Amino acid sequence: MAIQTANSWRAAAWRGVTAVLRGVAVCWRTALRCVVGLTLVAAAAALPPTRGIAIIYPEVGEPYRSVFASIIEGIEEQIGSHVPSIAIGANPIPKEIAGELRRQNIRVVIALGRNGLKLAVGLERDIGVVAGGVLSIPEAEARNISVLSLAPAPGLLFARLQIFMPAAKRIFVVYDPKQNAWLMRLAKEAANARGLELVSYEASDLKSALRIYQDLFATADPRRDALWLPQDSSTVDEVSVLPLVLHEAWAHNLAFFSSSVAHVRRGALFSLYPNNVEIGHRLANLALGQMASNGQAGRGVMPLKELLLAVNVRTASHLGINLSDRQNFDLVFPEQ
């Protein structure tokens, strides 16, 4: 009887121990699930918030290859992680690229260059488009996308002119409205804000533009007037217009500045030109804005504000301009 009682007691005790162990195991499993769950949440939070952005850019040779590489560097630097990039050749297959974007769950494409933009605008409408590395596109095509133009912001050009030439009151410009109507609207606003008068002339071809330039030089006052050469294939070229402007501006001591940095090497007083890494930063922010707003933010064409300064010191000396802050110039011509 005593033996049975002892055995019963041991059995009961063992059942109690087993129950405790089961409880401990349940607690450990629950704790483990909590830890795993927290780990997954933390991992998800640590994922780049920009997953869903991709870059499309043209496969080209130098020097443009380096330009696009710098822009992509800026995009990834701003985002803080690698961004999928698709290089397109001369004859890309849109269906294949669209399929790849779907597989990667891409929501916004950053399209670089005209070929990148051309492909991107043909994608499905649920993919947002941010474009850079292009000069301009028809305004009707830019209504549903964000386009960061390579055209320098007129207000920044005018501000720099007033630093070099405080007496400036009037700026002449010749442009083709098919290419730059949007830019001239911004330019008029910027000029008014700075107390300047923008005198703009429309021309649809180089022949018409040349006649206007000749009339301008006959009437311009070098003490208060300046000439702006925009990036415009109908009114500015390297063969006929630029040589005329260089010769007449020098002969009349008239300051002229340009939206093309190559013209500074030839004799323009100054130009503002793209800072490619900073362009990448801004494109990244535009893409993030598209993601956050479901494609509703920042549509239309925008001028470039991420700029560097090039100055021709020989031209400045000829015009009697004192360049006291020369150390702040990013490019100086003639090269020392």
Stronger pLDDT, 34 or 131, i.e. the higher one = 131
- Cβ burial of 235 (10 Å; 0-12, 13-18, 19+) is buried
Q: Are residues 178 and 204 in contact, defined by beta-carbon separation less than 8 angstroms?
A: yes
The answer on pLDDT for 5 being more than 90 is no
Cα 260 to Cα 166, 236, 275: the distances in Å are 22, 10, 13
Confidence bin at 35 (pLDDT 50/70/90): very low
Instruction: Give the Cα separation of 185 and 201 in Å (integer).
Output: 13
The answer on pLDDT for 109 being more than 90 is yes
**What pLDDT was estimated at residue 121?**
87
Q: What is the chain's mean pLDDT, rounded?
A: 86
3-state secondary structure the chain: CHHHHHHHHHHHHHHHHHHHHHHHHHHHHHHHHHHHHHHHHHHHHHCCCCCCEEEEEECCCCCHHHHHHHHHHHHHHHHCCCCCEEEECCCCCHHHHHHHHHHCCCCEEEEEHHHHHHHHCCCCCCCEEEEEEECCCCHHHHCCCEEEEEEECHHHHHHHHHHHCCCCCEEEEEECHHHHHHHHHHHHHHHHHCCCEEEEEECCCHHHHHHHHHHHHHHCCCCCEEEEECCCCCCCCCCCHHHHHHHHHHHHCCEEEECCCHHHHHCCCEEEEECHHHHHHHHHHHHHHHHHCCCCCCCEEEEECCEEEEEEHHHHHHCCCCCCCHHHCCEEECCC
Stronger pLDDT, 126 or 192, i.e. the higher one = 192
| Least confident among 95-99, 211-215, 222-226, 316-320 | 95-99
Instruction: Give the Cα separation of 183 and 176 in Å (integer).
Output: 11
The answer on pLDDT for 56 being more than 50 is yes
**What pLDDT was estimated at residue 10?**
42
Confidence bin at 65 (pLDDT 50/70/90): very high
The answer on pLDDT for 40 being more than 70 is no
The answer on pLDDT for 107 being more than 70 is yes
Which domains does the chain show, CATH number per domain? 53-134+276-304 (3.40.50.2300), 154-273+307-333 (3.40.50.2300)
The answer on pLDDT for 197 being more than 60 is yes
pLDDT over 90 percentage in the chain: 73
The answer on pLDDT for 148 being more than 60 is yes
Stronger pLDDT, 137 or 110, i.e. the higher one = 110
The first and second tokens of residue 66, run together, are: 């380096």
**What pLDDT was estimated at residue 326?**
65
Give me the mean pLDDT over the 295-320 stretch: 92
**What pLDDT was estimated at residue 295?**
62
The answer on pLDDT for 32 being more than 50 is no
The first and second tokens of residue 104, run together, are: 């990667």
Give me the mean pLDDT over the 170-184 stretch: 97
Instruction: Give the Cα separation of 336 and 331 in Å (integer).
Output: 10
Q: What is the largest CA-CA distance in the chain?
A: 132
| Of 88, 198, 178, residue with least CA distance to 137 | 178
The answer on pLDDT for 158 being more than 60 is yes
Cα radius of gyration (the chain): 31
The answer on pLDDT for 1 being more than 80 is no
| Least confident among 60-74, 176-190, 292-306 | 292-306
The first and second tokens of residue 275, run together, are: 């800072």
The first and second tokens of residue 6, run together, are: 């002892």
